[in-house]
Structure 1
Amino acid sequence: MSIAIPARRPVLADLLPAHRLRDATLVVAGAATVALVGQVAVPLPFTPVPITLGTLAVLTVGGALGTARATLSLSLYVLVGVLGAPVFAGATGGWAAPSFGYVLGYIPAAACAGWLSRRGADRSYWRSAGSSAAATLLVYAMGVPWLAAAVGVGIREALIMGVLPFVAGDLAKAALAALPLPTIWRLCGERPGQR
C-alpha cells in the first residue's frame, strides 16, 4: 500500500511576477511580518512563555511563501533575533529566554505550512486549518524541551507550563491563519480542487 502525495502546486507567492529580487524581497518581508505581528504579546504570571501572535504570522507566512522561502524567511528572523535585534515578543532578542525553543520551532512550522500549501492545503479552509494545526505542533515540539531545560523541570511540568495554557489560543490562531489563503485564491479565481 502506498500513500499518494498530491503534486506540487504554486503557492500565493508564485503569483507575483518573477524577477531577480522577488524571492529575496518575499523572504525579508516574511521575516519582518513575523517580527512585527509577534510583538503582540501578553505575559502570563504562571509561565515564562507569553501569549503572542507570532505563531499566527508564522503559519500565514509559511503557507503563502512555500517551503523554501518560508524556511529562509524564518531562519532570517531567528538569526537576526539571536544577534540581538529586538524582533522577538516584547521587543527582545537573544537566545537565552525560556521561550526561545518556541521561536526555533517557527522554522519547521513555517516549512511545514509551506510544504502543505504546495500540496494544495491552502486552497480550502478546512485543509488550511489542518495544515496550520499540524505546523503548530512543531512549535510545541521544539519549545517544550527547551522550556524544560531552561527552567529545570521535567517534560510533564513543561507541558503544563508551555502547552496547556496555549492550546485553545493556538487552535484559534490556526483557524484564523486558515482564512486568508483560501480567500485570496478564490479572489484570484481558483476554487478548491483546481490546479
Structure 2
Amino acid sequence: MQLTASHAVLADRFGPADGTARRIKQAVLVVLGVALITLAANIKVPVPGSPVLMNMGTFAVLTVGAAYGARLGLTTILAYMIIGALGFDVFQSSTAELNGIAYMMGGTGGYLVGYVMATLLLGTLAQRGWDRSMGWMALAMLLGNVLLYVPGLLWLGQLYGWDKPILAWGLTPFLFGDGIKLALAALTLPAVWKLVGRARS
C-alpha cells in the first residue's frame, strides 16, 4: 500500500463527483454526519467515579473523519461544534440548564477539541489509504484516540486540578470500550471498501 499517495475516500465513491451536484451532496453528507455524531453521542453509559460518560460519539467522529476525508470531515465536525455552541442539544450530556459555550467549557471540553484534531487526522490517513486495511485502520483509530485523550486529560487537569485522579477519571475507565470501538471501525470501513469494489467490478 502506498501510504503517501492520495486516495479517494468513501464519500468520493458515491454520488456526483463535480459541479453543483457535488456541493449539494457534500452539504447533505455534513448534515448526515452531524446527525450521526449527535445520535452516537447520546448512546452513553455512566462510568463510576468519572465525571465523563462513555458513549459512541468517539466512534462516530473517527468513522466520519475516515469516510469523509480531511476537508469534509473537518467541515462536519466544526458544524457539529457550532451547532452545539449555539445551545442545541447535540452533546452527550448537555441539558436545558447546561449547554452551548458553558457546556463546552466543562469537563468534556478537552475531548471536544480532540474531536476536531482526531477527525482531521483520520481524514488525512484515509486519503492515504489507511481505511482500506484492517491493520492500518486499527492503527489510525489508535492514533485518533490518542489525539482525543491528550487534550481531554490536559483539560481535566487544568479544570479540576492535577492533585485529582485525572487518569482514573478520564482515561482508564474508557480503555476497554475504546478497544471495542477500535476493533469495530477496523472491521467496518475495510469491509465497506470491499463491497464498493465488488459493486464496481
Q: TM-score, normalised by structure 1?
A: 0.89
Which of these residues, 148, 158, 163, is aligned with residue 149 of structure 1? 158
Q: Does 1:25 align with 2:28?
A: yes
Q: How does 1:1-195 map to 2 (within 5 A)?
A: 5-18=3-16, 19=21, 20-92=23-95, 93-94=99-100, 95-154=104-163, 157-189=165-197
What secondary structure does 2:72 align onto?
helix
Say how many residue pairs are matched.
Answer: 186
Question: How far is the alpha carbon of 1:157 from its aligned partner?
Answer: 2.9
- Per-residue CA shift, 1:50-78, capped at 9, x if unaligned? 11110010111111000001111111111
Task: Give the number of the structure whose residues are more often helix, by fraction.
Answer: 2
What secondary structure does 1:21 align onto?
helix
What secondary structure does 2:51 align onto?
strand
Conserved 8 A contact 1:59-1:174: no
Matched residue, 1:193 = none
What secondary structure does 2:52 align onto?
strand
Question: How far is the alpha carbon of 1:165 from its aligned partner?
Answer: 1.3
Conserved 8 A contact 2:3-2:130: no
Conserved 8 A contact 1:58-1:110: yes
Identity %: 39
Cα RMSD (Å) = 1.7
Distance, in Å, in 2 between the alignment partners of 1:28 and 1:138 is 24
Runs of 4 or more, structure 1, over 2 Å off, are 90-94
Conserved 8 A contact 1:78-1:104: no
Structure 2 unmatched runs, 5+: none
Q: TM-score, normalised by structure 2?
A: 0.86
What secondary structure does 1:170 align onto?
helix
What secondary structure does 1:85 align onto?
coil
Conserved 8 A contact 1:40-1:90: no
Structure 1 unmatched runs, 5+: 191-195
25-34 vs 87-96, greater mean Cα deviation: 87-96
